Amino acid sequence: MSEQLRAAVIGAGYWGPNLARNFRTSPDWDLVAVCDLDEDRARKVVGPRSTVDVTTDVHALLARDDVDAVAIATPARTHAPLVLAALEAGKHVVVEKPIADRGTAAREMVRRAAELDRVLMVDHTFCYTAPVLKMRELVADGALGDVHFVDSVRINLGLVQPDVDVFWDLAPHDLSILDFVLPGGLVPTAVAAQGADPLGAGQACVGYLTLPLPDGAIAHVHVNWLSPTKIRRMVIGGSKRTLVWDDLSPQQRLTVYDRGVDLGQSLSDKTQANVSYRLGDAWAPALPEREALGVMVAELADAIREGRAPRTDGHAGLRVLDVLESASLSLADGGRLTPVRTDAATPAETPLETVA
C-alpha cells in the first residue's frame, strides 16, 4: 500500500461535499482541509467532530506544505485563477466541469500544468461510471465496428441556471462521454446548435447539438430543462452492433443489439444497392457497482504516483470546452454550422484497467 496523498477541497456548495466524502473514504487519500468563503457551510461538510481543517482563506490553504492536490468545485468563471494559483503553489489539481469559462483561460491552465509538471485533471464524473467504462471498452475492442452515429438525450424538469444556458449546464456531461468513448476523442470539425427560450429566461432552456464526426459519422445531443419526464439515454450505432445506455434503468443500463442495416452494392453498377436488415440477439453486459467519484479520485492518485496524464486530463476538458464555445457562436448565428478548434491534444493511451 502506497503512502496516502493529502487533498484539500475548495468549494463546499453543491458538488464539493461529494468530493470531500470520496477523498475521506479513499485508501489513497487523506483529506486535510475544506475551504469555502462561508465557514459554516464548510464546517457542515467536515462535521462537528472532524479533525479536517476548515478555512475561508484560499491563499493560506495553497501555502500549506501538507497538501499534495486540491479539488476545485466552484463556479466556472473562478476556475482559471484558482487552478493557476494552485499550480503555481506546486499542487496537483482536479477541477469541476467545465474546465473554464473560456478557451483562452483553459489553454493557459493546460500549458502551465505541463510546464510545472503537475497533474491537471477535469472531473468528468460520468467517464468513471461502470456503464461508460464498459462502453469505451466495447468501442475500443471493435465490438460495435465502425461508429456510424451517436444519439444522446439528457432531459428533465431541471433548475434554470441564472448564469449559463442549457448547453453549458447539461451538454458537458454528454460531450465528455463522447470524448471518452469515441476513438481519438471528440474531434468534430464543426457544430450546429439550435436553442429555444420559451420561458423568456434570457437564455436557451431547450437545445440541440449536431456534430459531424470523422468518416461520415454524426452525433446529436438533446438537452432540456423543461421536460416533465427525465431521460438519460445514449445510443451508439456501429457497423456491427448498436449499444444503448439507459442510465435510469438500474436493472439493465447497457444493452448491446446485434441488429442493424447492411448495405451491399453491385460491383458492376454502384448505383444499385441491396439493403438487408440484420436481426440478431441482444445482451446486457454485467457491470460492477462502484461510486464514480471513488474511481475518479483513485485515478487522480494513480496519475500523480505514476507521473502520467489522467484519463480525463486538461486536454479532454479543452476539447469539450471548444465544442461549447463553438456551439455558443452557432446559436448566436442562427444555428449555422460553426468550425471547432482542433489544436487540443488527442487522448493519451492509458490502459483501460487503470480506471476500471
DSSP readout, 304-355? HHHTS--TTBHHHHHHHHHHHHHHHHHHHTTT--EE----SPPPP---GGGG
pLDDT over threshold 80, residue 354: no
Model confidence over 43-58: pLDDT tens digits? 999 998 789 999 999 9
Identify the bridge partners of residue 33 per DSSP, sorted by sequence position.
8, 53
Model confidence over 2-28: pLDDT tens digits? 799 999 999 999 999 999 999 999 999
SS3 286: coil
pLDDT of residue 1: 52
61-66 mean pLDDT: 97
Q: What sign has the CA pseudo-torsion 160, 165, 171, 172? A: negative
Angle value at C-alpha 94, between 183 and 14, nearest 5 degrees = 105
Reading the block at residue 331, the C-alpha cell is: 446559436
Show the 3-state SS of 95-109: EECCCCCCHHHHHHH
pLDDT over threshold 50, residue 356: no
Model confidence over 161-195: pLDDT tens digits? 888 899 999 999 999 999 999 998 999 989 999 99
- Give the global pTM: 0.91
The torsion of the CA quartet 67, 176, 254, 298, rounded to 10 degrees, works out to -10
DSSP readout, 211-245? EE-GGG-EEEEEEESEEEEEEEEEEEEESS-EEEE
Model confidence over 212-256: pLDDT tens digits? 998 899 999 999 999 999 999 999 999 999 999 999 998 899 999
CA distance 248 to 243: 15
SS3 246: strand
pLDDT of residue 117: 98
Can you list the pairs that 29-34 forms with residues at least 24 positions away whose Cβ atoms lie under 8 Å?
A: 29/4, 29/5, 29/297, 29/301, 30/4, 30/5, 30/6, 31/6, 31/7, 32/6, 32/7, 32/8, 32/64, 32/66, 32/67, 33/8, 33/9, 33/61, 33/64, 33/67, 34/8, 34/9
